[in-house]
Amino acid sequence: MDALLEVRNVSKRFGAVEALKDVSVSLAPGEVLGVVGDNGAGKSTLMKVISGAHPPDSGELRLAGQPASFASPRAARQAGIEMIYQDLALADHLDVGANIFLGREPLRRLAGVVPVIDDATVRAEVVALLGRIESHIPDPETRVLALSGGQRQAVAIARALYWKAKVVIMDEPTAALAAIESRNVLRMARSLARDGVGILFIDHNLLEVLEVCDRVAVMYRGSKVYECRASETSQDELVRYMTGFSVQGAAVPA
């Protein structure tokens, strides 16, 4: 299958710091690609380049085979690249449905004239949506305030899903979650992928990465030093690349 997102030979420099050195990765539709690396390895910079926050100094992005360059995160989102922020960007006092539809509420005309928010449509869509990603949110009219961390992730994921994101970037989605909730988030990531969404999954927990991802890319000091199928690697091997041990040893397996 053709690549959904391709990053080709991207470099990015901040003053004297080479944050990204000639990085290439590709992501297929329905694929979960883990991106791992130590702090400062370049994961965040790579995600910022993909989500339109930083333009690359050289190299290019291709989305569905077409060259793409994003002037802003908004432009990237319009093209179908959705970043799920660690702080989730939810309005706590609004309910689940209001958050998923925020800024894009469906309207109906009261008495044929006055435009009001079509709550029935919102409710129906949200119930179906939450069921699709197995979110464990019993009531779409719950305020986000009252949700657990995992359920908040579910709202952000549902929003990306409903608005037809093609690529979803999940930045340490389980960092602040209880174990059981982390399981749910991983399951939601898989169900997003089943819908054909490509997912870039950044995480420090390698066990989670090995479980949820199809492939894993390892970053080390701004370069992608290793890439393999998740089923063909181990935590130990990933750590060796993340810490630069295998890189300097130059014993890169195929």
Residues that bind other proteins (CB under 8 A): 74, 89-94, 98, 102-105, 107, 110, 115-117, 123-124, 127-128, 131, 139-142, 145
Query: Which of 47, 98 has the CB closer to other proteins?
Result: 98
Closest approach of other proteins to the CB of residue 141, in Å: 4
Closer residue to other proteins, CB minimum distance, 110 or 207: 110
Alpha-carbon span 104 to 117, nearest angstrom: 10
CA 167 to chain centre: 7
Q: In this structure, are residues 22 and 79 in contact, taking their beta carbons and an 8 Å threshold? A: no
Least distance in Å: CB of 171 to other proteins? 15
For the chain, how many residues are written? Answer: 254
Q: How far is the CB of 120 from other proteins (least distance, A)?
A: 9
CB of 33 to other proteins, least distance (A): 24
* Residue 44 or 233 having the CB closest to other proteins: 44
Q: Which residues contact 41 (CB under 8 A, 6 or more apart)?
A: 219, 220, 221, 222, 242
> Among residues 20 and 165, whose Cβ is nearest to other proteins?
165
Contacts of 8 (CB under 8 A, 6+ apart): 24, 59, 60, 61, 62
Kindly tell me which of 68 and 90 has the beta carbon lying closer to other proteins.
90
Minimum distance between the CB of residue 184 and other proteins, rounded to whole angstroms?
18
Phi-psi region of 181 (alpha: psi -120 to 50; beta: other; left: phi over 0): alpha
